[in-house]
Amino acid sequence: MRKTWLIFSQAVTVAVAVLFVIATLKPDWLQRRQVSGLPAGISINAVQPASLGSATALNAPNSYSAAAKRATPAVVSITASRAPPRNPHGSDPWFQFFFGDRQRQMQQEQQIGLGSGVIVSPDGYLLTNNHVIDGADEIEVQLADGRRARAKVVGTDPETDVAVLKITLDKLPVITFGSTDMLQVGDVVLAIGNPFGVGQTVTSGIVSALGRNQLGINTFENFIQTDAAINPGNSGGALVDANGNLLGINTAIYSRSGGNLGIGFAIPVSTAQLVMDGLIRNGHVTRGWIGVEPRDLTPEIAETFNLPIKEGVLITGVLQEGPASAGGLRPGDVVVKVAGTPVINTSQLLTAVAALKPQTPAVIGVQRGDRALELKVTVAQRPKTLPRRGEPR
């Protein structure tokens, strides 16, 4: 028995020694050993964590660093400044004697506005919000790489709160346009901008809702709602998807304190592109107009007028000799379609009409009592002045 135990212990000692020598001199022999239960072709080192900076690490399921690295170079910080009004008594010697130092100090002071923007063209075109640069005398853009440039205003569209700027620099980073056609509630998005002037910041969240309107922010509203943190200074920045493609321009937040509460709104990139093209090409945005006063159709109104429909836009007024009047539209009609596009509220009617090309006919589907009609209306160009509430649209 003793002899058998001695042989066994010597064999174990030799086996351990051989294993130690192999592990020291040829460790790859052990790493290449097939692991039981794994499919053929997958080895131990194939399931090790990817090294920092590798493609696998950048595209890890829980990381959006690749999207951030792709989009952030094209997102800029914008400083808009406006000189204070000049005092009419500034040249008066007595005024200068008593208030000279204070006057010079006031002239040096400027009203500063901070925001963000997105470079969308190698030619230097930028998208931002109109309210970021509204009334500014001087606009400075700072890129993520530290370069600075003065920006020129190409055009603004207060009705969508979109503005287009242009800078002149070489080798500009450009963001890639995404598509909102397949965007769904729950999709991951990143908000990139310069909140509170602290520097470029990336926050993440999801799409909380689509097609938000009737918020009273802009005339034309079709917002993407997100819970990605958006704060003052993020206005004009980028809302991108998980691949770094531009989905929208961050424009507003719902907040009682001025800070983020998880309810932010972005202008869809499809809207921003249309506005940008019009501003670059014509210096303004061309929209359709038919001259009506609309109101949402409520169940109570539908019941009062014994209407067979429950959704649509009630026409409460028609501009005399306007396009709608000439096409036969009357007060009391309920618009249900514009050029084949269903409309169920005032915001949708306004957007659908605005998308029509001026000086061209369009079929307007209406419900007049118990009759469904199709009226042909020749669309006019929307007036440039922003209409007040209750004026014909």
Structural domain of 330: 288-381
User: H helices within the chain, ranges in order?
Assistant: 2-25, 27-31, 55-58, 65-71, 93-108, 130-133, 269-282, 299-304, 323-326, 346-354
The tens digit of pLDDT for each residue in 359-393 reads: 999 999 999 988 999 999 999 998 875 444 444 55
The reply to whether 38 falls in a domain is no
pLDDT at 30 over 90: no
Residue 117 lies in a domain: yes
Q: Which of 166, 200, 216 is the last residue of a domain?
A: 166
Question: What's the mean pLDDT in 244-253?
Answer: 93
> What digits encode the pLDDT tens for the residues 85-132?
555 555 656 555 555 555 555 544 465 678 999 999 999 999 999 999
375 found inside a domain = yes
Residues 198 and 215 occupy one common structural domain: yes
Q: Which of 116, 157, 161, 241 is catalytic?
A: 161
> Residue 215 has what pLDDT?
79
* Residues listed for the chain: 393
Query: Is 174 among the domain residues?
Result: no
Q: Which of 77, 116, 131, 333 is catalytic?
A: 131
Does residue 68 surpass a pLDDT of 90? yes
Of 226, 254, 282, which marks where a domain is finished?
A: 282
For residues 318 and 298, state if they share a domain: yes
The total number of structural domains in the chain stands at 3
The residues pairing with 32 across neighbouring beta strands, listed in sequence order, are none
Identify which has the larger pLDDT, 83 or 191.
191
* CA nearest neighbour of 153 among 285, 286, 280, 281: 280
Q: Would residue 209 count as lying in a domain?
A: yes
Residues 353 and 317 in one domain: yes
Q: Return the CATH number at 105.
A: 2.40.10.10
Would you call 81 a catalytic residue per the annotation? no
The whole-number pLDDT of residue 346 equals: 87
Encoded tokens for 4: 């058998």
> Is there a domain that residue 228 lies in?
yes
Q: Which of 82, 342, 114, 141 is nearest to 233 (CA)?
A: 114
* Contacts of 168 by beta carbon, 8 Å cutoff, 6+ apart: 124, 149
Spot the catalytic one: 77, 116, 235, 347: 235
Last residue of a domain, one of 256, 282, 308: 282
The number of beta carbons lying within 10 Å of the beta carbon of residue 378 is 14
pLDDT band at 52 (very low <50, low <70, confident <90, very high): very low
What is the pTM (predicted TM-score) of this model? Answer: 0.71
Q: Is 131 a residue of the active site?
A: yes
**161: annotated active-site residue:** yes
Q: Is there a domain that residue 28 lies in?
A: no
Three-state SS for 43-63 is: CHHHHCCCCCCCHHHHCCCCC
